[in-house]
Chains A and B, each alone.
Chain A
Amino acid sequence: MLMLMSVSIFGLSRVHAHVISVLSEGILTMRTVDEWFLSMLESNGVVILVVTVLTLIVLRLLFVIHRTGKPLRPTAVKPLSTLIVLGSGGHTAEMLNLLAALQKDRFYPRYYIAAATDNMSLQKARSFESSSDDEIFLRLVQMGKDKAEYMQIYRSREVGQSYITSVGTTLVAIAHALWLMIKIRPQVILCNGPGTCIPICGIAFLFKVLGIRWSTIFYVESIARVKRLSLSGLLLYKLRIADQLYVQWPQLQRKYPRSILVGCLM
């Protein structure tokens, strides 16, 4: 409304200035007022734009936080692309134990990610994938539904690395995680502790906010954590990034009431 009014006033005054060569003081005053009004409106417009965009971002952020932790609409039996973050020895054993209990025809294709310095975990995942010899699995192979991919990710900090150099390596690790996440855009993310899951889950949350992909994040705290969550678990819990956070010991569940007790997996 204001904008329209000012434009019409401005247009009128320009016509007047053109037609009437003898300038009356009144019109002059009117023009300067117009210009002042317009510049005011222009700067106000920027402010309004910024406020609107910020409000939209905050609203989207609140929506994502609100939706995180609530199940998606029933997607029936559609398969879900699944990203599995593997860690060192104990973590990988627990994760493969969990995967054995999940239906392979629902969670596929499966993308395994391990740290670049960890050669054992992907090898274990490969032998896990090829060890399933039951009939269902063989039928899946024939249908091309046994798809699994294996990739490695840079770690932000190796054990014993100095904190100064770790700033650079952290940036590289985040960029690499972003690249992998853009490529995979998983519908489900499974993780159970290793630090490599933090950049991945953070990017997944960003993708939710931006509306790129809604990934359901399942975090299963390691059985080794009896009294306190690991740093990864604590971050995902406090920042409400994980949709579901499962713990294996009752005392841990009592300490973190939003977590879900599932008993020992091993």
Chain B
Amino acid sequence: MLRFIFSKLLYLIPTFIGITLISFSFIRLLPGDPVLLMAGERGVSAERYAQISAQLGYDKPIWQQYLTYLGNLFQGDFGNSIVTKKPVLTEFLQLFPATVELSLVAIIIATVIGVPVGVIAAIKRGSWFDQISMTGALVGFSMPIFWWGLLLIIFFSGTLGWTPVSGRISLMYYFPQVTGFMLIDSLLSGQAGAFKSAVSHLILPSIVLATIPLAVIARQTRSAMLEVMGEDYVRTAKAKGLSPARVIGVHALRNAMIPVITTIGLQIGVLMAGAILTETIFSWPGIGKWMIDSISRRDYPVVQSGLLLTAGIVMIVNLLVDLTYGLINPRIRRQ
């Protein structure tokens, strides 16, 4: 297992270098002078130009600039935002919990509904449940989630008035960030109604973000179950006279879950992309909205490092998925 982990880690190095190369090139690929871009839109004097140029290392050869960039990254220096002047990493860490909370709740919704639906659809193949749920899954898979979010706002916030339209919690409540997760912090604050407010803010965005992963998980679970149920060991289990619940629960489901877990893990990329749209619609103060705002404000250091950090997280989660896969499926490890 150690060797497996090590080989996977080794595999990451070229990808990591590639990611840093892309984020490094980003500012240099933008049309216009990078120094002027980094200095903001107001323009600079000649001395200030030279100063920024030297400070950012643009007067050095390109390979040296890259090495400095890498060195800074390893020291946790991701540059400063042009707009707020704050270190990008500080801003990222501040907003990251909001995106994690939203994504976690979304993936939990998607898994808790998606897996049972997929299993039942597979067991009752061809039934009305199978047909309706798989049609629903395909609709979900085809959903433009930015529109879906707007529809939910029209109905639940507008017509019914059940949920708020934007933000993470009502402005009535104020309490210190402990974990960064609004659900937990609101409970810890002990303020009456705070938790309820947090939940009501979270519910629509997480449903929107869960839509596509839910569809993917339900479809994947169904096809994995169908494949496994045709295997010899399931037939043997049935022939032995085991109860259907045992055949499905123990023999089929456990093996079908292997590809499903991978699918769930691989949804992280989908979630990060979905977070951009979901957070924009619901004014959710997370990484996605931060990136979009930074792109439209031309806050390029934020875009550059945000891109790098997001890709880094996706990479690490994918590594964890790979390792889990190796853990539950010994055949993979030996390859």
Do A and B belong to a common assembly? no
- Residues of chain A having any CB pair with chain B under 8 Å: none
